[in-house]
Every structure is written in structure tokens, then in C-alpha cells.
Amino acid sequence: MNSRSTLAWAFVIFAAGFWATPVTAQQEPPTPPPFNEQPKPAATSTPIAIGGDSDKDQDLDQPAPQGPPNPYAGSIKDVGTGLPLLGTSSTPLRWGSFSIYTIEAIGFHDDFVPPGATMATTTDLALFRLGLMFDHYVLHHKSRIVLQYLPQLLVGDGDVRANGSSSNNVTLGTKFELTPRLSLTVDDNFTEIYGNSLIPQNYLAVNSQVGALAQNYFLNVSGNFLADTADATFEYDITPRTNIIFSPSFRYMQSSEPVSNYSANGEAYTGTISVGHALTPHRTVGLTASYQYLTETIGSVPQNASYETVGGYYSEQLARTLWVTANAGATDQHYALLAQPGGWGLSAGAGLTKAFSTRASLGLAYSRGTAFTNYVTRERADRVDLSFGVTLTSRIVWNMDGGYYRELGPSPTIGRYATTGLVYRFYGSFSFFTNFAYTSQSPGTQQLLPGDERALVYGLRWSPRWIPTK
């Protein structure tokens, strides 16, 4: 590790020692400020409906959080959205710790226009999907183990294909409360995509009740892609206001295109440490440092890149229904195929969720860095997403969202999308949903499919309400 990275880590360790000094009660605000002038614990607000999946979020009666979201904290993720899994299903289809929490019948119509083509290629498919869950508490309710799986059955052109020829999504999450101050969260996420991801939803997943955002895949692969990500998060409360978080992770990626016999695979090793301090019950600042090493093989050519990043973050609940997070820093990159290889570059991110009333809400997210995507790459990228949802009636929710992605390398991958959709809850846990998405991408790799796509999704979903686990 060179001298610049050594100084960066020394800076974080120094800050940890400085913030470890206990804070006395006199530093708390003397009296609660007036409503709308100072943050309050989040109350129930209308979440954004993303791709028809708002049913779960809308029904989730979240417990009021005790402070702003920590972007580096460990949490068990929901396989459908990538958001923290804060509840468990109230489904009647439960057998001990095993349950079926959703059943979906989905129709899919797709028009795809390759570059230079004058006519679109049309695809019509039907998809049936189950949401399976194992949710179990151990050690006197101090530790939770969750396994989620979304098996699906694909019907098209007279063929019936199970998960072996369509997409697979499996997550395993475990959280251990080791001591009153120390916790450990372990996650493993497996993704397998065969061709188009089919269902345009949750590109930007939002939960405006707790200020949570998740930027998910939206680029279409040209062949097959699989990835497995394993990570662990250690969280230790140095004082009631100061904590330190350490997160090692490993990701394996493989991409293949059977027609041209093209293949790529890669591995990413990452270690992140952050030190956070609560200035008030609703405002947290912190320092972070990370090291990431990526290896990839394109065809038979091995390549690698490393990134050393140091920066800070800010997270606050500005009002009852307004959440803001931001981070900024510098990345020292080596052997990366960027416009100016090597040297320092910007690392940044921001997120905002806002519920304007009980009927409308907004989500905005921006990121720059080496993000996990659905293709093998070692380039840094910029991405921005915006989503807006409106509850038209007590039964109908309408949402719109869009996003843009661009790599920073000399032959960048560029992608953009826009979607709009409706959810109509017509009886109990049953709802009808429809979503239209336009996606355009100009890839800098054979792993992605160039062209414009227009996809219409419609279907019927049974999904009982979710209840908080704590």
C-alpha cells in the first residue's frame, strides 16, 4: 500500500479516536423544536410504487426509526427490491418458518430495435412466479435468519421453461446481536440472468418511510450473466453516539454469449471501514475508507484494477417525511482503463426521499464509483435515478421513473430508461398491475445488448400485507 493510502487510513483511525470521546447529556437539544422546523421520527407516508411492487411497501407499517439511515450499516436485503427487509409477511400460507408471501401471473410484450434496424423484433411471454421465504429467529430472538427465493415458470412460443432457462434470484441474510454493542450481518445474494431481465421494475427501489433507496440493474445482457456476492458487516457502538463499521465483501461474476462464444469473468474483493457520529438524534456525519481489487478475464486476456477511496458522508432526516444522504471523497485508481489512467478521481453519491403528502412522494439517487452491475467491468461510472409516485385513490397508485448510466472509460457503456405504471388493488391482497418501460443502451462491451427496447408488463399479484419485525 503506498504512502497516500497509508495517510488516508491513518486519518480515519485518528477520527475514530477523536469521536470516541463520550458525549454528555448537556449536548442534547434542550427542547423539541416545532413541527416542520426540525426532524421528527418518520411517520407513515405513501411510498413510491416501483413497477407494481408498491403493495409490500404501502402495507408495511414501519416502526418509527430512531435516527437517520446509515448508508454503511448492515441489513438483511429483500430479494425483490434490494431494500432493507424490515418486516415479515402476514401470509396465511405459512408452515412454521417457511412461507409463500407472493404469487404472480405476469404477461410480457417486448419490441426490440437493434441499431440500424427498421423493424422491431417482437416477443410475447407469460411468467408465473412465487415468493418463497424462510424466516426464523434464534438465540432468544436476538438473531434472525432469512432465506428468500423467487422461482419462476416461463411460457413462450409453445415452450415451458423453469428456472434452468430463465432468471434466478436467491438471497440469504443473517443478523447476529453478538453483544449489546456489537452486531454482525452476513448476506449472500445470487443472481442468474438468461437474456433480457424481462420485468422492468425496481430500477430505483424506494421506501420513503425510512429514507431507503436502492439502485438496481436495468441494462439488458446479450447472453447469460450470473453473480454471487457475499459480504459481512461488523457494527460496534463505541459510545451511544459513535459507531464504527467494517464490511469485507467478495463478488464473483461470469458473463457469456453463446452465439459468438464470447465470455468474461471477474472477481471483486472489497473492504470498507466507516466511523459515524450522531451530531443530533436526526443528523449523522462520518468518515469512510475502502480498498477494492478487481480482476477480470475478457476472452483469454487477464486484467486488473485497484481503487483506494477515502471520504466522508452525511445523513439526516430534515423533516418528518424528508430524508437526505450524501457522500464525497477521492479515489486513487491503478491500472484502470479510464480516459486518464491512474491518479485520483471523484467518488460521490447522494440520495433523497420526500413524501409531499399522504398521496405523493419522490426519490432521487446519484452515484459515482465502481458499482456492482449485471456485467463484468472494472470501469467507474456515473448513475442518476429519479422516481415519483402518486396515490390517485385508496386503491390506485401511479408511478413514473427514469435513469441514466454512463461509464467513464474511453469506450463507455451508456444506458437510459423511463417507466410508468399503475397498481390497482381490487380485493384484499389481490392487485392488478401494469408497467411500460423504454430502455436505450449503447454498450462498450459484447456482454450487453445494443438497441432500443419497449416493454409492456401486466399481471395479477396476490401479496398479503407485511408487518414489522421489531
- In this prediction, residue 312 carries a pLDDT of 97
* Tens digits of residue pLDDT in 291-336: 999 998 887 778 888 999 999 999 999 888 889 999 999 999 887 6
Do 443 and 62 touch, CB atoms closer than 8 A? no
H helices within 71-184, ranges in order? none
Tell me the pLDDT tens digit for each residue of 113-171: 888 888 888 888 888 889 999 999 887 777 899 999 988 888 876 676 665 455 678 89
- What 8-state DSSP symbol labels residue 24? -
- Domain membership of residue 280 (yes or no) is no
Specify if 275 maps to a domain.
no
Classify residue 84 by its DSSP letter.
B
Give the pLDDT score at 98. 96
Cβ–Cβ < 8 Å for 12, 287: yes
Q: For residue range 10-53, what is the model confidence (pLDDT) as tens digits?
A: 434 434 443 433 433 333 333 333 333 333 333 222 233 333 34
Residue 22 lies in a domain: no
- Are 421 and 49 in contact by the 8 Å Cβ rule? The answer is yes
In terms of Cα–Cα distance, which of 416, 360, 428, 467 is closest to 200?
416
The band of 3, judged by pLDDT with boundaries at 50, 70 and 90, is: very low
Residue 284 predicted with pLDDT over 50: yes
- Domain count for the chain: 1
The pLDDT, as a whole number, for residue 336 is 65
Domain that holds residue 68: 41-158+168-177+194-222+312-468
Burial 56-72 (b: 16+ CB within 10 A, else e): bbbbbebeebebbbbbb
Q: Is the pLDDT of residue 208 over 50?
A: yes
What are 181-192's pLDDT values in tens digits?
999 999 999 988
C-beta separation of 407 from 442 below 8 A? no
Contact 24, 364 (CB under 8 A): no
**Whole-angstrom Cα distance, residue 463 to residue 408?**
41
The three grid cell numbers given for residue 69, joined into one nine-digit string? 439511515
Confidence at residue 124, expressed as pLDDT on a 0 to 100 scale:
87
C-beta separation of 388 from 401 below 8 A = yes
Residue 270 counted as domain residue? no
Question: Looking at the domain assignment, is residue 211 inside a domain?
Answer: yes
